[in-house]
A and B are shown apart, each in its own frame.
Chain A
Amino acid sequence: MEFPLGKPILAILATALLSGAALVCMPPTPASDLTVWVFADSHARTYRSIRDSFEEETGRSLAIDDVGDSINIRLASLFMAGRTGNALPDAAEIEIGNIGRFLRPPVTDVGFLPLNQYLETSGFRTIDSPLDPGESGWNARCTADGKIYTHDASHWRLNPNRARPDAWIDRIIPARFTPWSKHGVIFGVPHDVHPVSLTYRDDLFRQAGIDLSTARTWTQFQDKCAAFQDYWRTHGVSHRHALELPASTSDDLVIMLLQRHVNVVDDRDQIHLADEKVVKTISFYAQLVAGARSIGAPAESNTGIWINQLEQGEICVFWTPDWRVDLLRRYAHAEALRGKLRMMPLPRFDPDDAPTSTWGGTMIGIPRGCRDPDKSWKLIEFLYLSDAGLDARRNEGEIVSPLMERWNDPICQKPDPFFGGQQVRKLYVDLARQIPPRCVTPMTSVAQITLSIVLGDAVQYVRNRGTIGLEDACRQWLNRATADVRRRIDHASFEKRDATP
């Protein structure tokens, strides 16, 4: 029998009918008791490895949805639509570059639930007896007598003035709550610290007779790098650059500014673009990437490419937050780099600068309209703060935990053969203790874009006129940029601004 519309149409119709029937007959996926949304494969992998323990411990099923980068738009849409209950995940992770938009509404209307109370009333530190080990400043409740003790560097002493033992809020490094807070209200538990160090090709620097690790200031660092480049140029390697440093984007400049405790927009919407430290830093940065003493070259953000640039010795010093070392271990050809790398703290501009900065970050929060916030909190505690969760994360990679007591883990003392036996984890932990706080507001990204413009102007100035008069020019540009960002903040703010310009 002939089908009047022809065989192809018949085939399409049959396929459609069969697929439809298959969809109808497919058993529905059983709904989980709890759902967490993550955006990174590695996070999903880690949480899946401990899901069984969670389900056994709590008797609740857990779905881990790797939503990818669309997590931000999906969550923002759900919050904007005022959805509640099953429509929302029970917990969700957000990357630091995207948190600003979520903090735009007034504190009472942010889509995430304030976590201060949970953080202050759970995770209490306990000791079995005052003979237990501890660290200076810790407060713990003794399970034997129920009293609060404070550690004074040598012993636990009874402290009748202390109302409660340390809770999660005291045990997590305070600087890492800042990006996820608005006016003191905390909306997320930090996943990481992400201290930044510099990783360099020690073999190539040694060949050039330079010990980069002795550079304590950025000026010394530049001198050594300039000498390094000169050495290789005289030896016929003209495409060897010292430091990964772009001339057109402000990402690395922001890292330097954070090192100097400068947030371009702070949590009260105050703009710090025209601060003297910014003027000096941007002027210094411009002559790092342009002019006769340039030591910088842009590296690709694509992991495979920047690692290749390091392997080939095209760019020999890279900014390395802990997550980047993970990538390096995973994707570099071990034989090409093993033992050739070393790591150092960031050189400083002034003695009061931190020897590190921070790059990247993730939080987990509870959507305000979720099914049961208490259950969500238990899930967060398990994934982020329990031994099982933290061990799984340590096994997965290099990431330094924001829970300070984990920094005493003996694994942190282990020498690292990839870095020629250097104690890399110990260095990261030492840097984590000095991490500068980072603020993120809805206007941070706009301010950073404006900073890129000024940087571009400064680089052009150095190329055309050198460094004389550069600081004055930068000051003018930054003043103009401040006025522009102020105007934008005033226009964009939903709330009435209480900060003064």
Chain B
Amino acid sequence: MNGKQGDCSYSAARRFTLWSLQRRAAPYLFLLPFLILFFGFVLYPLANSVILSFEKTAGPRLTRFAGLTHFRFLLHDWLFWVAVLNTIGFAIAFLCLQIPASLALALLLNSPLVRFRNFFRFAFFSSNLVGQAFAAVLFTLLLVPRAGLVNRMLGAVWPSLLELDWKSDPRFARVAILMAALWLSVGYGMIYFLAALQAVDQELYDAARADGAGAWSRFWHVTLPQIRPVTVFLILVGTVGSLSLFELPYVFFQGPGPQFAGLTIVQYLFTQGFGAGDLGYASAIAWALVALIGTVTLVQIKIFRGAGEHP
């Protein structure tokens, strides 16, 4: 009897120990797959790229400590600064156009006056389903001098524009990239704005109307403040995305473009790392880009917080 009791209490104690062990271990076990992937594919390469940025390399056995050489060279590398200016210029122009265009489209397609709204919502969003490389190929065909659809349409209005060579003139080259990027992403922003618009409490509009607010006033004082978090999110995502622009100009120009108009920071990084095989310098460029994105994002967050809203 005593023995039985002892067995029972032993097995109960064992069950309890296992249970408590499982309870303690379970969270870590659940986290383990993610942690393995995160360390293997994110942290380890990141740490390695920090080391690489201080080295000259030419293969697995060929590395030499280079100190700050790459970073010093970067400071005086005019091609890098051209890439920085191009990228920042693109980011500013892109955000200034994408956010208002997406919002305008969302307002339009949120209106009950528009018929076939669902079809148009899908149509505008669908361009986002294709990749940047596809958009680049598509715009290459649209913008062919004499034969491209856009050139033909422009030529019908102003005949000399039929010959417009978008890939030869730096100004037009930048416009071409911007058009392609907007075509890809305006629909994406529109979907977020639509969701935000539909979440605005109708009672606020009713109250505003009761106070005599007009359409513009309602938009400015009710709609905009209510969709502010989404706007902030889209600005942050758009900033990071446009600062890391790569495939679009890379495929469109098949190189840096006329007078380097299509050279972005990531493209320069790619050219150095995979074109010339200089992984050390490419890593230094990558960390400069990280610093740039980090700084811009922090400044944006500070501005939005300063305006009284947490993004």
Task: List A residues at the B interface (Cβ < 8 Å).
Answer: 72-73, 76, 79-82, 100-102, 104-106, 109, 111, 239, 246-249, 297-298, 300-302, 305, 308-309, 312, 314, 442-443, 445-446, 449, 452-453, 456, 484, 491-492, 494
Distance between A165 CB and nearest chain B CB, rounded to angstroms? 37
A73 to B62, CA, bound (A): 18
- Contacts A248-B168, A309-B147, A494-B58 given; does A73 touch B274 at CB 8 Å: yes
Residues of B contacting A72 in the complex (Cβ-Cβ under 8 angstroms): 274
Q: Is A445's CB under 8 angstroms from B271's CB?
A: yes
Task: Report the bound CA distance from A111 to B61 in whole Å.
Answer: 12
CB-CB < 8 A to B278: which residues of A?
Answer: 104, 442, 492
Binds A, one of B32-40, B137-145, B237-245: B137-145
**What is the minimal beta-carbon distance from A487 to any residue of chain B, in angstroms?**
8
B276 A443 Cβ-Cβ under 8 A: yes
- In the assembled complex, the CB of B56 is this many whole angstroms from the nearest CB of chain A, namely 6
Q: A298-B167, A491-B281 are in contact. Are A106 and B274 (CB under 8 A)?
A: no
- Of chain B, the residue at the smallest CB distance from A239 is B146
Max chain A Cβ within 10 angstroms of own Cβ: one of B56, B254, B259, B271: B259
Q: Is B110 an interface residue (CB 8 A)?
A: no
Q: Which residues of B contact A111 (CB under 8 A)?
A: 59
Top-5 shortest CB links A-B: A101-B277, A248-B258, A82-B60, A105-B58, A494-B58
Q: In whole angstroms, what is the CA distance A442 to B140 when docked?
A: 29
A76-B277, A491-B73, A494-B56 known; A82-B61 Cβ under 8 A: yes
Interface string of B61-87 (1 = CB under 8 A from A): 110100001000100001000000000
Q: Is B247 interfacial (CB-CB < 8 Å)?
A: no
Known: A109-B58, A246-B168, A491-B73. A104 touches B276 (CB 8 A): yes
Most buried by A among B59, B73, B165, B281: B59
Q: Is the beta-carbon distance between A308 and B271 smaller than 8 angstroms?
A: no
Which of A247, A248, A312, A494 interacts with B64 by CB under 8 Å? A494
Residues of chain B with a CB closer than 8 A to A453's CB: 259-260
Q: Check if B255 sits within 8 Å of A491, measured CB to CB.
A: no
Q: Give the distance in Å from the alpha carbon of A442 to the alpha carbon of B278 in the complex.
A: 9
* In the complex, residue of chain A having the shortest beta-carbon distance to the beta carbon of B74: A491
Decide yes or no: A298 and B168 within 8 Å by CB, A100-B276, A248-B258, A305-B141 being known contacts: yes
B49 near A: Cβ within 8 Å?
Answer: no
Of A104, A305, A491, the most chain B CB neighbours within 10 A belong to A491
Report the separation of the CA atoms of residues A300 and B141 in the bound assembly, to the nearest whole angstrom: 9
Contact between B276 and A442, CB atoms less than 8 A apart: yes
| Residues of the B chain whose Cβ atoms lie less than 8 Å from the Cβ of A239 | 146, 162-163
Contacts of A452 in B (CB 8 A): 256
Bound CA span A425–B62, Å? 46
A443 to B64 alpha-carbon distance, docked (Å): 20
Q: Contacts A305-B141, A494-B64: A101 and B276 contacting too (C-beta < 8 A)?
A: yes
Extra contacts besides A106-B62, A305-B141, A445-B271 (16): CB < 8 Å:
A72-B274, A76-B274, A80-B57, A100-B275, A104-B58, A105-B59, A109-B61, A239-B162, A248-B169, A305-B147, A312-B147, A442-B278, A452-B256, A456-B258, A491-B281, A494-B58
Verify B147–A308 contact, CB threshold 8 A: yes
In the assembled complex, how far is the CB of residue A365 from the closest CB belonging to chain B, in whole angstroms? 16
CB atoms of B141 and A102 under 8 A apart: no
A101 pairs with B275, CB closer than 8 A: yes
User: Which residues of chain B come closer than 8 Å to A314, judged between CB atoms?
Assistant: 146-147
Selected A-B contacts with CB under 8 Å, 11 pairs: A82-B59, A101-B274, A104-B276, A105-B58, A239-B162, A248-B167, A305-B144, A453-B260, A491-B73, A492-B276, A494-B58
Scan B185-224; emit 1 where CB is below 8 A from any A CB, else 0.
Answer: 0000000000000000000000000000000000000000
Residues of B within 8 A of A442 (CB): 276-278
Which of A297, A300, A308, A492 contacts B140, CB < 8 Å?
A300
Contact B145–A298 (Cβ < 8 Å) = yes
Cross-chain contact of A105 among B62, B259, B260, B276 (Cβ < 8 A)? B62
Report the bound CA distance from A494 to B70 in whole Å. Answer: 13
Instruction: Please name the residue on chain B nearest to A444 by beta carbon.
Output: B276
The interface residues of chain B lying within 8 Å CB-to-CB of A80 are: 57, 59-60, 279
Residues 258-277 of chain B: 1 if any A CB is under 8 Å from the residue's CB, otherwise 0? 11100000000001001111
* Chain B, residue nearest A302 (CB): B140
**Given the interface contacts A248-B168, A442-B277, A443-B276, does A494 sit within 8 Å of B57 by beta carbon?**
yes
B56 close to A449 (CB less than 8 A): no
Chain B residues near A105 (CB-CB < 8 A): 58-59, 62
A239 and B256 CA atoms in complex are apart in Å by 28
* A449-B256 contact given A443-B276, A491-B69, CB 8 Å threshold: yes
Q: Which of B58, B141, B281 has the most CB of A within 10 A?
A: B58
With a CB–CB cut-off of 8 A, which chain B residues contact A494? 56-58, 62, 64
Q: A302 contacts B141, CB within 8 Å?
A: yes
Q: Give the Cβ gap from A282 to chain B, nearest Cβ, in Å.
A: 15
Determine if B276 and A445 form an interchain contact, defined as CB atoms under 8 angstroms apart. Answer: yes
Closest B residue, CB atoms, query A314: B146
Residues of chain A within 8 A of B73, CB atoms compared: 491
In the assembled complex, which residues on chain B have CB atoms less than 8 Å from the CB atom of A491? 69, 73, 281
A436 to B206 alpha-carbon distance, docked (Å):
80
A305 to B146, CA, bound (A): 11
